[in-house]
Structure 1
Amino acid sequence: MAFRSVFDVGALRNEFDIAGISLQFIPQVWKHVRQNPSSNLDEVPSLPTAAYLILRTKFKAMTSSLSSAADSKDRLTTKLLIRLQNGSLVEAVVMRYDTRLGKYAGKPRPGGQRSTLCISSQVGCKMACKFCATGTMGFKNNLSCGEIIEQLVHAFQFSDIRNIVFMGMGEPLNNYTAVVEAIKIMTGPPFQLSPRRITVSTVGIIHCINKFHDDLPGINLAVSLHASDQEIRCQIMPAARAFPLPRLMESLQNYQKKSHQKIFIEYIMLHGVNDLEQHAHQLGKLLQTLEVVVNLIPFNPIGSSSSFKTSTKDDVKRFQQVLRGTYSIRTTVRQQMGEDIAGACGQLVVDVSRPMSAGSVGLLSDIEDLHM
């Protein structure tokens, strides 16, 4: 790559260090690009002369470009197709919420309008989950810290982003260093996002979970569990063989002891596979010693070749009632948004030959509400 993203913080810090330029100028550069993503870096005001030479010859304000954007009919969801400098494509999804339209515990919900960005961390994915279209791409490459942040900069052109969920393409903890660097940028100047409004989802990379809180204190952890039985989990998530449930649960126990934070559990509902009442009891017993929020995810079909079917609404309701009533586990059903664009949970797969107007979106219930 001829140029690095100006948000590739390690490279930028190194160049400034070598030139004897104070690192305090870096947030100033980022603020300018955040507000003027198409500008020339020579236009950043009040930098040392040596900084302009470095920026001009080694960095770009934005190494990626917005290839296309698709809005849902209700204008609440926008799917962004972003072209990276190496020609690869990734997708990110902007979801807009107006909490005044609903209630929580019988009372008006606080906050008003806000937006969440579902962000990608890799091109493709190694995990090969059988219910997820992204896995059919195979793994192409990790995104750099700068390429992750640039998704946020692109998204700001469409909405004022308040929440981030790393639930797009890829397994975030398989790109651990870049994700950690990106989140530290997001929570510092000029973005200043609240750590409690950023969520990182993982299939359960145990050695990364063990250091997650130390590296990212205050950031939310979500675990794609999807089954409470190791055999079923391995059938639908082949990578789970490397992360046995007993070891995974031990790591989550240790994480919660250190962080004192809720853990968000993602559970995709597959008809006849993991949605029976006995599965709900197994899940309740597995989680009852943890403080968790379980998010039940309606399965979004990923093509005619898929052998999975969506659980019925009655099955989902019954599953939820077991977790709530028998085990007192807070359980939500993932909100469906933008049903007329292809950006669904498990459906993010780059195929420029398919239209951006088919499919359904079912993404995380607003993370701020789950904290309440």
Structure 2
Amino acid sequence: MAYKSVFDFSVVKSEFENAGIKPHFIPLIWKHVLQNPNCQWDEIPSLPSAAYPLLNSKFISCTSTLHSIINSNDTVTTKLLVKLQNGEFVEAVIMRYDTRLGKYDGKPRPGGPRSTLCISSQVGCKMGCKFCATGSMGFKNNLSSGEIVEQLVHASRISAIRNVVFMGMGEPLNNYASVVEAIRVMTASPFQLSPKKITVSTVGIIHAINKLQTDIPNLNLAVSLHAPVQDIRCQIMPAARAFPLERLMNTLRDYQNNSHQKIFIEYIMLDGVNDEEQHAHQLGKLLETLQVVINLIPFNPIGTLSHFSTSNDQKVTRFQKILRGTYNIRTTVRKQMGQDISGACGQLVVSLPDKSSTGSAGLLTDIEDLRI
């Protein structure tokens, strides 16, 4: 029999209620597991006597195992290869920041060291974005809410995680129920992450965006836009055919009117495809009525899987100046982390560790800073 993850909240809650055990004991179990990775259920104090045989017969503290930990030469990025109970693998990436090393508006930033975890929601992805390594895997399966949370559990034993971004493998809103339940666990005791520290990135699943703001208020929404017009978007993101740009923009306006929060726009820079001055003007006009932060993402080469090239620095800078200067839209450029371990944006595709990789890069702006 396959054991269930103790972090699959709805399953544990249902089993506890059927056994007459109050669900308020569940966070106590989670806290003990976090503090004692290899604990036995009988070692957890103060649970009702009926809880112990139930836990022993149906649940395990972690259904996944940490297969490998790969540190980047940049010294601030760590990729975790996590093996699931079904034998499949997913990847998560820890990115460390020290806000004291940078400035915002010419002033020193407050705070200090913090870590962001980039988390996966699926094995593979069915969206098929042509610039993304994960899309080349195809779709294999959704993760349960417990398997999603377990990535945070594994990462928390390596670094204190302050922010979580659903920007790893998979389209989070195609695994809606598990992602929402996982976020609710992450915002509860003992994790207690603020929804404002969690970001869900989507290619634009319209019906799910409408539901998300109601189900989890104050969550950050990031939209992988990547093109300012529908034709280009469909060329590089085949799934965009199901989510026309006009309808997506109307959905984002409604989302913003209800949430009163900025929306993050992710825009990958592909040489000669979407990085010309005309594209910058088209993007500015498309978004100028919304409160957004645009994050320009230099394309990460993925070997023979793509015919795309990275936009040069001059093009990226000119693109950014148009958005800032002409349309007054806050625009940042993502400085990549972990390219040498294939941990950068668009590079997450399961492979066994290759310690011969070289090279490094640094990311100066955390998703948390973009909220300012």
Matched, 1:83 2:88: no
Q: How many angstroms does 1:340 deviate by?
A: 2.6
Instruction: Report the identity percentage.
Output: 71
Matched, 1:102 2:98: no
- Secondary structure of the structure 1 residue equivalent to 2:155: helix
Check whether the contact 2:204–2:223 (CA below 8 A) recurs between aligned residues.
yes
Check whether the contact 1:70–1:357 (CA below 8 A) recurs between aligned residues.
no
Is there any run of 5+ residues in structure 2 with no aligned partner, and where?
none
Q: How many pairs are equivalent?
A: 372
Q: Deviations over 1:196-236 (max 9, x none)?
A: 11000000000000111100101100000000110000000
Q: CA RMSD in A?
A: 1.5
Check whether the contact 1:344–1:361 (CA below 8 A) recurs between aligned residues.
no
Give the counterpart letter for 2:189 in structure 1.
Answer: P
Q: Deviations over 1:299-329 (max 9, x none)?
A: 0001134210000100000000000000000
Q: Does the C-alpha gap of structure 1 residues 359 and 147 become closer, same or farther in structure 2, counting only changes over 3 Å?
A: farther
**Correspondence list, 1:53-68, <5 A:** 53-68=53-68
Q: Does the C-alpha gap of structure 1 residues 207 and 358 become closer, same or farther in structure 2, counting only changes over 3 Å?
A: farther
Q: How many angstroms does 1:344 deviate by?
A: 1.5
Check whether the contact 1:226–1:266 (CA below 8 A) recurs between aligned residues.
yes
Give the counterpart letter for 1:10 in structure 2.
Answer: S
Q: Does the C-alpha gap of structure 1 residues 66 and 353 become closer, same or farther in structure 2, counting only changes over 3 Å?
A: closer
Q: Does the C-alpha gap of structure 1 residues 313 and 364 become closer, same or farther in structure 2, counting only changes over 3 Å?
A: same
Q: Deviations over 1:55-85 (max 9, x none)?
A: 1000000100000001112421100000000
CA distance in 2, matches of 1:169, 1:98: 26
CA distance in 2, matches of 1:304, 1:141: 25
Q: 2:228 maps to which residue?
A: 228
Matched, 1:278 2:278: yes
- Secondary structure of the structure 1 residue equivalent to 2:296: strand
CA distance in 2, matches of 1:44, 1:230: 55
Give the counterpart letter for 1:71 in structure 2.
Answer: N
Q: 2:327 maps to which residue?
A: 327
**Correspondence list, 1:144-155, <5 A:** 144-155=144-155
Q: 1:162 maps to which residue?
A: 162
Where do 4+ consecutive residues of structure 1 move more than 4 Å?
Answer: 353-356, 358-364
- Secondary structure of the structure 2 residue equivalent to 1:294: strand
Q: 2:350 maps to which residue?
A: 350
- Secondary structure of the structure 2 residue equivalent to 1:335: coil
Is there any run of 5+ residues in structure 1 with no aligned partner, and where?
none
Matched, 1:294 2:289: no
CA distance in 1, matches of 2:235, 2:359: 25
Q: How many angstroms does 1:337 deviate by?
A: 1.8
Q: Does the C-alpha gap of structure 1 residues 61 and 361 become closer, same or farther in structure 2, counting only changes over 3 Å?
A: farther
Q: 1:368 maps to which residue?
A: 368
Q: 1:4 maps to which residue?
A: 4
CA distance in 2, matches of 1:50, 1:25: 12
CA distance in 2, matches of 1:306, 1:360: 21
Q: 2:51 maps to which residue?
A: 51
Q: 2:266 maps to which residue?
A: 266
Check whether the contact 1:204–1:224 (CA below 8 A) recurs between aligned residues.
yes
Q: 2:113 maps to which residue?
A: 113
- Secondary structure of the structure 2 residue equivalent to 1:337: coil
**Correspondence list, 1:108-257, <5 A:** 108-257=108-257
Q: Does the C-alpha gap of structure 1 residues 362 and 99 become closer, same or farther in structure 2, counting only changes over 3 Å?
A: closer
- Secondary structure of the structure 2 residue equivalent to 1:193: coil
Q: How many angstroms does 1:45 deviate by?
A: 1.4
Q: Deviations over 1:158-193 (max 9, x none)?
A: 100000000000000000000000000111100001
CA distance in 2, matches of 1:181, 1:207: 18
- Secondary structure of the structure 2 residue equivalent to 1:351: coil
Q: How many angstroms does 1:255 deviate by?
A: 0.4
CA distance in 1, matches of 2:364, 2:185: 23
Give the counterpart letter for 2:7 in structure 1.
Answer: F
Q: Deviations over 1:108-157 (max 9, x none)?
A: 01111000000000000000000000001000000000000000000011
CA distance in 2, matches of 1:43, 1:246: 56
Check whether the contact 2:73–2:360 (CA below 8 A) recurs between aligned residues.
no
Q: Which TM-score applies when normalising by structure 2?
A: 0.97
Q: Which moved more, 1:245-254 or 1:358-367?
A: 358-367
Q: How many angstroms does 1:351 deviate by?
A: 2.1
Q: Deviations over 1:258-314 (max 9, x none)?
A: 000000000000000000000000000000110000000000001134210000100
Q: How many angstroms does 1:361 deviate by?
A: 6.8
- Secondary structure of the structure 1 residue equivalent to 2:117: strand
Check whether the contact 1:5–1:61 (CA below 8 A) recurs between aligned residues.
yes
Q: How many angstroms does 1:237 deviate by?
A: 0.2
CA distance in 2, matches of 1:107, 1:23: 47
Q: How many angstroms does 1:339 deviate by?
A: 3.7
